[in-house]
């Protein structure tokens, strides 16, 4: 069937990046409005295969320009139910990337699409060609879809007319898991859609932890696994509870070992610093540890500025993604801020010290009252030093950790000092895959002692040391 299209369609084009110089047009993204939505509908309300475009078509677009863009699909079938909408929406992301010369990033009202010049040269002239290919893939790959109809929008006024009601639909989906918690179920769900570009990624979806792409919640995972047990979403029996606080379960660990081909055999679902969830690259928000204040900052895709650690979202996303368990960075979905188990193993909200203003406003209702004003934004601080001062002024709960640290340091200074030569080789920090720019200025305190000695304080570190050499210095 693919021969009728002027482009190739294959999973091998997933991961294809279209850079600015190879781009014909950009659709939606950070600087233009957009969304994607799938709606489960009655059979008689769908005209199978029909496509409608509201706004200018590709052939009418100016090379190098940016346009608003929205995609909606109505799906129907005997097994189609509302819980499947998010799952099919996520497959729109996957299938758009199957098309040679198209790049689709993110989800919901955050989508970012580029069409490459090569695709235009090969004969792509209309969104109808794209929509027909996607509808074909929906019906081929998701047999529960019996009928599908698509409406695409490139007219900004029309998109703006729809977008608030579309956002209400996303919110309604997210609200469903509010009263359901990890302890209430005996099955979690996994998703392998991102394994193609992040092979060791282990994506676990629980009632208290939405997928890090923000697109799939526990109900969505359950519906997808039920209707297509061989598909990318699958059940994960929880097994026994190893530690409820950090969210460690035997069932999740077994799946982690299998999916990561043995690279990881432990995942703590609600931990930031120890055995954290892997991060594939689709995360909506990146968390980053700030050792100077022993706190955690969060930065989302929409923030184009620089975080107090001097890094931008894109740099930190590069450190975080790839399906690794990176201690010091963590990718999450925005809805995870609303979870009562939000990084509870590491102090939850008491550990949060910085967020971009827009993100903070977005989740403001879910930030506990006592700490809301104590979390800095780019309007309050510009670097780690000003962050430290802000936290002191606001009497942020993180100060208690500083006091504990000072106590430990005092005790360490009072203890008899032994000369210590750190091993030059064979020094491995298992589970501590520190990013290259992970500045350990707070945990490693230099210059201690009056005669040039160095005091090393390692917190939350697990290490294996092959050899320690203790030498008497002349
Ligand atoms: S982030 Fe997870 S849930 Fe979302 S598409 Fe990727 S693998 Fe699936």
Tens digits of residue pLDDT in 345-372: 999 999 999 999 999 999 999 999 999 9
pLDDT of 405: 79
210 ligand 1 Cβ < 6 A: no
Q: Which atom of ligand 1 is nearest to the CA of 283?
A: 1
- Percentage of residues of the chain with pLDDT beyond 70: 87
For residues 445 and 455, the answer to whether their CB atoms sit within 8 Å is yes
* Sequence-separated (6 or more) residues with CB below 8 Å from residue 451: none
Short-list 330, 235, 216, CA closest to 278: 330
Which residue's CA is the nearest one to ligand 1's atom 5?
193
Q: 425 burial class (0-12, 13-18, 19+ CB within 10 angstroms)?
A: exposed
Q: Which atom of ligand 1 is nearest to the CA of 233?
A: 8
Mutating to test ligand 1, I would choose from 211, 223, 267 the residue with most ligand atoms within 8 A of its C-beta, which is 211
Task: Specify the pLDDT at position 453.
Answer: 55
List the domain boundaries for the chain: 2-175, 182-400
How far, in Å, CA of 317 to CA of 213, rounded?
13
Is the pLDDT at 471 greater than 90? The verdict is no
Q: For the segment 239-280, what is each residue's pLDDT rounded down to a tens digit?
A: 999 999 999 999 999 999 999 999 999 999 999 999 999 999
CA-nearest of 366, 304, 372, 300 to 333 is 300
Query: What are the φ/ψ torsions at residue 109 (nearest 5 degrees)?
Result: -90, 20
CATH class of 2-175: alpha beta
What's the whole-model pTM score? 0.77
Choose the weakest-confidence range: 4-13, 103-112, 306-315, 432-441: 432-441
What's the distance, CA 99 to chain centroid? Answer: 24
CATH of 182-400, one of 3.20.10.10, 3.40.1470.10, 3.40.50.300, 3.40.50.620: 3.40.1470.10
Q: Tens of pLDDT along 105-150?
A: 999 999 999 999 999 999 999 999 999 999 999 999 999 999 999 9
Q: Whose CA is nearest to atom 1 of ligand 1?
A: 213
Other Cβ atoms closer than 10 A to 404: 12
Question: How far does residue 281's CA lie from ligand 1's centre (Å)?
Answer: 9
Ligand 1 atom having least distance to the Cα of 216 = 3
Structure confidence by residue, pLDDT tens digits, 150-174: 999 999 999 999 999 999 999 999 8
Average pLDDT over residues 33-48: 97
Predicted confidence at residue 427, as pLDDT, reads: 33
Candidate of 86, 108, 282 to mutate for ligand 1, largest count of ligand atoms within 8 Å of Cβ:
282
Ligand 1 in reach of 194 Cβ (< 6 A): yes
- Dist CA 53 CA 126 (whole Å): 9
Q: Which atom of ligand 1 is nearest to the CA of 93?
A: 5
Q: Which residues contact 204 (CB under 8 A, 6 or more apart)?
A: 188, 189, 190, 236, 252, 255, 267, 269, 277
Looking at every residue in the chain, the average pLDDT score rounds to 89
Query: How distant, in Å, are the alpha carbons of 30, 47, 60, 290, 331 from that of 57?
Result: 21, 21, 5, 47, 36
pLDDT at 416: 63
Task: Give the residues across from 288 on adjacent strands.
Answer: 297, 329
Judged against a pLDDT cut of 90, whether residue 408 lies above it is answered with no
Q: Using the predicted structure, report yes or no on whether residue 467 has a pLDDT greater than 90.
A: no
**231 CA → ligand 1 middle, Å:** 13
d(CA 332, CA 205): 11
pLDDT in tens, 204-226: 999 999 999 999 999 999 999 99
The span from the CA of 152 to the CA of 28, in Å, is 12
pLDDT tens digit string along 330-345? 999 999 999 999 999 9
Ligand 1 pocket mutation, candidates 194, 223, 236, 334, criterion most atoms within 8 A of CB: 194
Residues sharing a CB contact under 8 Å with residue 399, sequence separation 6 or more, in sequence order: 391, 392
**Of the given ranges (86-95, 122-131, 246-255, 443-452), which has the lowest mean pLDDT?**
443-452
pLDDT value at 32 more than 90: yes
* CA–CA separation, 191 and 46 (whole Å): 29
Residue 9, Cβ neighbours under 10 Å: how many? 18
Question: Residue 456's pLDDT band (boundaries 50, 70, 90)?
Answer: low
Q: What is the pLDDT of residue 2?
A: 46
CA of 199 to the centre of ligand 1 (A): 12
Which among 187, 20, 181, 18 has a CA at the least distance from the CA of 104? Answer: 18
Mean pLDDT across the stretch 435-442?
Answer: 40
Return all residues near 73 (Cβ < 8 A) that are at least 6 apart: 37, 38, 39, 88, 92, 134, 135, 138, 148, 149, 150
For residue 91 and ligand 1, the question of a CB distance below 6 A is answered with: no
Q: Tell me, what's the pLDDT at 176?
A: 84
Q: What confidence score (pLDDT) does residue 174 get? A: 87
Average pLDDT over residues 275-303: 95
Q: Is the C-beta atom of 215 inside 6 A of ligand 1? A: yes
Output the CA 423–ligand 1 centroid distance in Å: 40
> Beta 51-54 vs 147-153: how paired, if at all?
parallel
Give the Cβ contact number of residue 119 at 10 Å: 24
- Residue 4's pLDDT is 82
Looking at per-residue pLDDT, the higher value among 319 and 297 belongs to: 297
Q: What is the pLDDT of residue 315?
A: 93
Whether residue 85 is predicted with pLDDT greater than 60 in this model: the reply is yes
Q: Verify whether ligand 1 is closer than 6 Å to residue 105 (CB atom).
A: no
Q: Is pLDDT of 47 > 70?
A: yes
Task: For ligand 1, say whether the CB of 256 is within 6 Å of any of its atoms.
Answer: no
The reply to whether ligand 1 has any atom less than 6 angstroms from the CB of 108 is no
């Amino acid at each position: 069937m693919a021969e009728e299209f002027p482009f190739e369609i294959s999973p091998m084009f997933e991961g294809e990046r279209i850079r600015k110089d190879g781009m014909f047009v950009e659709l939606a993204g950070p600087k233009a409005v957009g969304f994607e939505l799938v709606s489960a509908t009655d059979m008689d309300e769908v005209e199978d295969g029909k496509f409608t475009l509201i706004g200018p078509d590709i052939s009418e677009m100016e090379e190098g320009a940016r346009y608003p863009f929205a995609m909606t699909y109505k799906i129907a079938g005997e097994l189609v139910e509302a819980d499947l909408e998010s799952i099919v929406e996520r497959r729109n992301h996957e299938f758009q990337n199957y098309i040679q010369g198209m790049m689709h990033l993110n989800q919901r009202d955050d989508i970012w699409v580029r069409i490459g010049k090569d695709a235009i040269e090969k004969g792509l002239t209309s969104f109808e060609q794209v929509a027909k290919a996607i509808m074909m893939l929906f019906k081929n790959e998701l047999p529960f879809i019996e009928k599908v109809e698509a409406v695409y929008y490139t007219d900004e006024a029309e998109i703006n007319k729809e977008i608030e009601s579309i956002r209400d639909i996303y919110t309604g989906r997210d609200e469903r898991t509010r009263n359901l918690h990890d302890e209430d179920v005996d099955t979690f769900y996994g998703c392998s859609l991102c394994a193609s570009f992040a092979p060791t990624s282990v994506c676990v979806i629980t009632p208290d932890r939405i997928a890090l792409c923000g697109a799939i919640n526990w109900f969505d995972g359950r519906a997808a696994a039920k209707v297509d047990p061989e598909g990318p979403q699958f059940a994960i029996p929880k097994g026994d509870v190893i530690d409820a606080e950090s969210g460690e379960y035997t069932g999740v660990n077994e799946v982690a070992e299998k999916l990561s081909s043995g690279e990881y055999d432990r995942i703590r679902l609600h931990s930031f610093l120890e055995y954290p969830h892997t991060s594939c690259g689709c995360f909506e928000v990146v968390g980053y540890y700030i050792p100077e204040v022993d706190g955690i900052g969060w930065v989302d895709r929409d923030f184009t500025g620089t975080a107090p650690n001097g890094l931008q979202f894109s740099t930190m996303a590069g450190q975080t993604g790839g399906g690794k368990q990176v201690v010091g960075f963590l990718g999450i979905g925005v809805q995870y801020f609303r979870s009562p188990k939000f990084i509870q193993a590491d102090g939850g909200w008491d550990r949060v010290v910085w967020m971009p203003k827009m993100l903070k406003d977005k989740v403001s209702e879910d930030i506990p009252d006592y700490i809301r004003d104590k979390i800095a934004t780019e309007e309050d601080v510009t670097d780690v030093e000003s962050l430290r001062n802000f936290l002191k002024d606001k009497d942020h709960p993180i100060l208690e950790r500083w006091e504990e640290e000072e106590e430990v340091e005092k005790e360490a200074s009072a203890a008899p000092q032994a000369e210590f030569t750190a091993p030059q080789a064979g020094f491995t920090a298992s589970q501590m895959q520190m990013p290259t720019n992970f500045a350990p200025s707070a945990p490693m305190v230099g210059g201690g002692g009056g005669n040039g000695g160095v005091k090393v304080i390692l917190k939350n570190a697990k290490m294996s040391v092959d050899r320690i050499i203790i030498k008497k210095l002349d």
